Chains A and B, each alone.
Chain A
Amino acid sequence: MPKHRITRRQFVATVATGVVLATEQTTRAQSGFLHWMGRWNERVDCFLFGPERLGAELPPAETTPAEAFPSYFISDDMPVAPAGWVLKVGGRVARPATFSLEQLQQMTRTDMRVRHHCVEGWSAVAAWYGVRLRDVAEVVGADPRAPYVEFRSFDAGYWSSWDRESALHKQTLLAYGMNDVPLSPDHGAPLRVYSAVKLGYKMVKYLTEVNFLSERTGGYWEDQGYEWFGGV
């Protein structure tokens, strides 16, 4: 048999190795088939996202009972806002600034009742209110060439980075209220990201910082293997 032809045994070994490698990648798709397909799917995800497309506004009757709307944090105990809490907005912005909750509340308030889509598969509905991130971006003069936006929190190391288009979507809020009352600690008080166009894990609670960046900076779940784009 000519040397360049692979034997049946080599073929079987190669296929078996491929299957084993493919299975081992399941926890973190850093290379190989799943990584490649993940990148392809991210491009599809970006392509499907319409910056002007809105999540459906729902009637009050669809609201999920407060006790049935799940919430979680990654700290050992419920994160509590530090005294003198302010939101820092920076990165590639013309006028870096800090905002107190009162300052944000003085800006134009936006209300929306939309469906929440969790990566686990459940959905729930609440009415959210707060200020549009696009309005805050305008105040600080965010560089239109900065393609990523990073959200950081005081929930021990929870963060997420987004594409700019989703962050500046009409239905992406820095929310300070839920179901007609100020945001409760379990849902991210005093301020959280809420959006109709992302999966739940992208919406950072207990917000401390918003940064407009040149590079994407992953995220708490994203770095463990969940999709970075996470659009719905």
Chain B
Amino acid sequence: MEITDRDERWKGRRAQPWLIRLTHWLNVPLLLFMAGSGLQIFAAYPALGPRGALYRWYPWQETELPTWVQFGGWLAGGRHWHFALGWFLVLNGMVYLSYMVARGEWRRRLFLPHRDVHNALLMLAYYLRLRRTAPWNDFYNGLQRLAYSAIIMIGVVEVFSGLAIYKPVQLWWLGYLFGGYDGARVVHLMGLGLLALFTAVHLVMVTLHPRAILTMCTGGKHA
């Protein structure tokens, strides 16, 4: 088993290096305004499936969205904001991912099945009160790594499903990947739902462990 804490590479490095902190906090306004402008766009046709063939499994067909979740004033405004801020969110994500690769940060942050499955299961058992103590962990526990890896994947899917909706003819191959234009709308909206769910759980967890918020602000101690 790989024990990343003993790895020489972390010597002198903060738990949350400044670029991780910066990109993390930039995500807050960017995701908030992307969600708001996205919902402004969705509000113009709050349904899933093509005209005359709405998907039966979606329970909220043509349900009006509350105005407080919408941003941009009207459809054109929502579109302008969504397509403008989208670039910065993608840029932010690329800076973050490049840094993770360049500095080997992915080793201690991402879910590596051979290392983390066991720990994730023990952690799950702890949360379900099947186990009295939390398993030992080095930097993040297995469940954290699973959640942080999943949210990166969801972010990537959001970008590509968004592009598939944006240019369904020019980027037809992307649409094909998501089951066509209306399929891509489903994926894009479901991605938002998962992002919201992640954020909710994330907020609960950091409220329970406020030290994590401090570390994400100051960077924490040097290793």
- For window 107-134 of chain A, which residues contact chain B by CB distance below 8 Å? 115, 117-125
Q: Mark B39-58, 1 if CB is under 8 A from A, else 0.
A: 00110110100111100000
Cβ A225 vs Cβ B80 within 8 A: yes
B51 near A197: Cβ-Cβ < 8 Å: no
Interface residues on A, range: 35 or more
CB distance from B6 to the nearest CB of A (A): 44
Q: In chain A, what residue has the closest Cβ to B87?
A: A37
Q: A37-B84, A65-B52, A123-B50 are contacts. A225–B45 as well, Cβ < 8 Å? A: no
> Which residue of A has the minimal Cβ distance to B165?
A121
A232 in contact with B72 (CB, 8 Å): no
Do B185 and A41 touch (CB < 8 A)?
A: no
Across chains A and B, the number of contacting residue pairs, with CB separation under 8 Å, is: 105
From B166-174, B196-204, B205-213, the one touching the partner chain is B166-174
Asked, given contacts A121-B45, A124-B52, A227-B79, whether A50 binds B84 with beta carbons under 8 Å apart, the answer is: no
Of the residues B73, B74, B168, B171, contact of A115 by C-beta under 8 Å? B168
Contact B81 A231 (CB under 8 A): no
Q: Mark B161-182, 1 if CB is under 8 A from A, else 0.
A: 0000101111110000000011
Nearest to B167 among chain A residues (CB) is A48
Answer whether residue A196 sits at the interface, using C-beta atoms and an 8 A cutoff.
yes
Residue B83 interfacial (CB < 8 Å): yes
Q: Is A85 located at the chain interface by the 8 A CB criterion? A: no
Q: Which residues of A contact B181 (CB under 8 A)?
A: 115, 117, 123
Interface assignment of B124: CB less than 8 Å from any CB of chain A: no
The number of chain B residues with a CB under 8 A from chain A is 31
Contact A29 B80 (CB under 8 A): yes
Nearest chain A CB to B169 CB, angstrom units: 5
Instruction: Looking at the assembled complex, report how far the CB atom of A221 sits from the nearest CB atom of chain B, in whole angstroms.
Output: 8
Given contacts A55-B169, A68-B52, A231-B170, contact A224 B47 (CB under 8 A): no
CA distance A132 to B129 in the complex (A): 69
Quote the shortest CB–CB distance from A152 to chain B (angstroms).
Answer: 22
- Check if B52 sits within 8 Å of A64, measured CB to CB: yes
Inside 8 A of A225's CB, which chain B residues have their CB?
74, 76-77, 80
B151 beta carbon closer than 8 Å to chain A: no
Identify which of B45, B87, B171 contacts A118 (C-beta below 8 A).
B45
Closest 8 CB pairs of A and B: A68-B52, A37-B84, A26-B77, A121-B45, A120-B44, A225-B76, A124-B51, A26-B73
List the interface of chain A (C-beta within 8 A of B).
26-27, 29, 33-34, 37-38, 40-41, 45, 48-50, 53-56, 64-65, 67-70, 115, 117-125, 196-197, 221, 224-227, 231-232
Additional 18 contacts, C-beta under 8 A, given A68-B53, A123-B51: A26-B73, A26-B77, A26-B81, A38-B84, A41-B83, A48-B167, A53-B169, A53-B172, A67-B52, A68-B51, A69-B51, A115-B181, A119-B44, A120-B75, A121-B44, A121-B45, A225-B74, A227-B76
Q: List 17 A-B contacts (CB under 8 A).
A: A26-B77, A34-B81, A38-B84, A40-B87, A41-B83, A48-B170, A67-B52, A69-B52, A115-B50, A115-B168, A117-B181, A118-B45, A121-B165, A122-B50, A123-B168, A124-B51, A232-B170
